[in-house]
Chain A
Amino acid sequence: MTATLAAAGWRPRKPSVIPGFGLTLGFTLAYLSLIVLIPLAGIVWRSAALGWPRFWAIATDERTLQALKVSFGTALVAALVNVFFGTIVAWVLVRYRFPGRRIIDAMVDLPFALPTAVAGIALTAIYAPNGWIGSLLTPLGVKIAFTPVGIVIALIFIGLPFVVRTVEPLIEEIDAEVEEAAATLGAKRLQTISRVLLPALAPAILTGFALAFARGVGEYGSVIFIAGNIPYVSEIAPLLIVIRLEEFDYAAATAIAAIMLALSFAMLLVINLIQAWSRRRFGHGA
């Protein structure tokens, strides 16, 4: 790898006295290729080997379509809920002072640190029909666990920090003078928020939404316990991949994975475009 790089003329653009360019870049590229790129290319290669008719048949299979619909639909709803509450949480944590604020701020990262399986069984214990909250809701005829609503609950938990942590730094950066100027010009507080503050926060909120959504689509551990996993109803796409693997139907598993990969790369591209756009528009990344 390093040798081909050198042959292709890969040298630092600016000459530098600092040593180790070839060594560190070579190691980085070799490790990246071995661990990430070559294994991922395997998915593309294996799906290509399926041939288009077979790939299309798996992709348009009713169960595949339903699983993708469940994954993307629940992730979308959860990300929207997170945008709403996540922005409020970020606002409250940055702007207001109240006892316990520091601890609560640290707690927001819990979904990053708590293993997904632990979150999954805990949320199920809360929302199952005989669970902590579930048992209160059952007499009212409301069912959360083992329905798509349960999936949404798990994905809200998983996605929350993405929105809070992307919006928080931007709220910190807002200049008080901007708000003062709006107030001096006669804007009501609500007008200042909707016409001045929210437009400035929009790129960060969009990025947070996209990150939470992308994470939700691929989420597995926290969902499978609470989902009930009923085919066509509450079966998510990652679970269908696992089921196909357990049936040794590698072709179907690969095809579904390829579809999910394509969709998540498309989202990655959108996130990058939002950030590039916001840098041009507002002079800072989200």
Chain B
Amino acid sequence: MVLEVSFAHQPAASQPAPITETPVVRIVLISAALAFLAFFLVLPLIVVFVEALRNGFDAYRSALTEPDTVSAIRLTLLVAAIAVPLNLVFGVAAAWAIAKFEFKGKAFLITLIDLPFSVSPVISGLVYVLLFGAGSVLGPWLKSYGIEVLFAVPGIVLATIFVTFPFVARELIPLMQDQGTGDEEAALSLGASGWQTFRLVTLPNIRWGLLYGVLLCNARAMGEFGAVSVVSGHVRGLTNTMPLQVEILYNEYNFAASFAVASLLALLALLTLGLKSILEFRYGDHIAGASKH
């Protein structure tokens, strides 16, 4: 009885719920977080589009149809079209070996696969300059057969493969480890061949995780700047990708055109984020990295 009375007399407002913050603290924290994100994430995004359209829509369109820009767009698409499928095949193979089998050195192998993420993009480009540059063994030898790697498209492709190397693999490895080997063993015992098992059992199991990895891989492949900048040689209309074209136009004080190209890349980033959120929302259970990226 006494207890009830004492509870009844407790003023509700002065006693916050024991496991949450007071409304004032909540509002302060939410405001701090939103202000921080507005300054650092939203504002730069708005700036890109406002600056791109500063001289009107016609100027925007003519900046994007300028021949050097068009060839930069084409080269970016070409590089991604080569680099992403190669890393896709690698990612599936690596995940298959790592997730379906036990062998020594596995943890070390996973660390090595992640290596390109911890290397500065400039160094990722530099390694290929050292490998194929003038002072190397390989470069002059290939040149004698008329094959240019450095300051040409192959070098750009190689640098892009390097920086996007881990994306698909690190998405698939935890996913396939979680799924185990039961489904495959069942298929094999029912007489499916290895290839049939992969195509009809494993692939449907991992398709959303695979798509997720490819999405992130593609965004980085199209947007890579540092590594590509080192190996490209900046030949206008020939070895310029879109991010490099952004830099060149910017350094020529052609800001509106630079932001116009940048706005295409920003749209790609928004599209990537949108698709990524849809995948996480609808197929979250089928994507291992959903909470990590």
Contacts and interface: CB of A to CB of B under 8 A. Distances in A.
Contact of B44 (A102, A126, A242): A126
Interface stretch (B4-12, B55-63, B99-107): B99-107
A184 B265 CA distance: 53
A118 B126 contact: no
Contacts of A96: 26, 29-30
A235 interface: no
Nearest to B123: A257
Interface in B227-268: 229-230, 242-244, 246-247, 250, 255, 258-259, 262, 265-266, 268
B18 interface: yes
A117 B44 contact: no
Contact of B135 (A111, A180, A250): A250
A267 B161 contact: no
A238 B120 contact: yes
Contact of A42 (B109, B127, B181, B292): B127
B80 to A, nearest CB: 12
A73 B268 CA distance: 32
A115 B258 contact: no
A114 to B, nearest CB: 4
B92 to A, nearest CB: 8
A59 interface: no
Contacts of B48: 118, 121-122
Contact of A264 (B51, B118, B121, B244): B118
B158 to A, nearest CB: 7
Interface in A135-169: 153, 156-157, 160, 165-166, 168-169
A119 B250 CA distance: 13
A233 interface: no
A36 B112 contact: yes
Contacts, number: 293
Contacts of B242: 115
A108 B100 contact: no
B130 A46 contact: yes
* Prevailing SS type, chain B contact patch: helix
A66 to B, nearest CB: 17
Given A85-B36, A221-B121, A36 B47 contact: no
B30 A107 contact: no
A220 B226 contact: yes
Given A17-B185, A25-B97, A218 B130 contact: no
B116 A176 contact: no
B32 A115 contact: no
Contact of B162 (A39, A160, A238): A39
A126 B42 CA distance: 12
B187 to A, nearest CB: 10
A158 to B, nearest CB: 10
A113 B163 CA distance: 14
A36 B165 contact: yes
Given A110-B269, A113-B219, A156-B40, A122 B262 contact: yes
A27 to B, nearest CB: 5
A116 B226 contact: yes
A13 interface: yes
A220 to B, nearest CB: 4
Interface string B159-198: 0011001000000000000000100110011000010011
Interface in A91-128: 91-93, 95-96, 98, 102, 104, 106-119, 121-123, 125-126
B97 A39 contact: no
Nearest to A9: B104
Interface of B: 16, 18-22, 26, 29-30, 32-34, 36-37, 40-45, 47-48, 51, 90, 93-94, 96-98, 100-104, 109, 111-113, 115-116, 118-123, 126-131, 133-135, 158, 161-162, 165, 181, 184-185, 188-189, 194, 197-198, 216, 219, 222-226, 229-230, 242-244, 246-247, 250, 255, 258-259, 262, 265-266, 268-270, 272-274, 276-277, 291-293
26 contacts: A10-B103, A17-B185, A18-B181, A20-B100, A21-B97, A24-B93, A28-B98, A32-B113, A40-B115, A96-B30, A108-B41, A113-B272, A113-B273, A118-B262, A118-B265, A125-B51, A156-B40, A179-B18, A180-B18, A217-B120, A218-B120, A218-B121, A219-B120, A225-B250, A248-B134, A253-B126
Given A36-B112, A104-B37, A245-B129, 13 more contacts: A13-B101, A18-B181, A20-B96, A28-B98, A28-B109, A37-B112, A39-B128, A39-B131, A43-B126, A157-B44, A179-B19, A238-B122, A242-B230
Interface of A: 10-14, 16-21, 23-25, 27-29, 31-32, 35-40, 42-43, 46, 85, 88-89, 91-93, 95-96, 98, 102, 104, 106-119, 121-123, 125-126, 132, 153, 156-157, 160, 165-166, 168-169, 172, 176, 179-180, 183-184, 189, 192, 214, 217-221, 225, 238-239, 241-242, 245, 248, 250, 253-254, 257, 260-261, 264-265, 267-268, 272
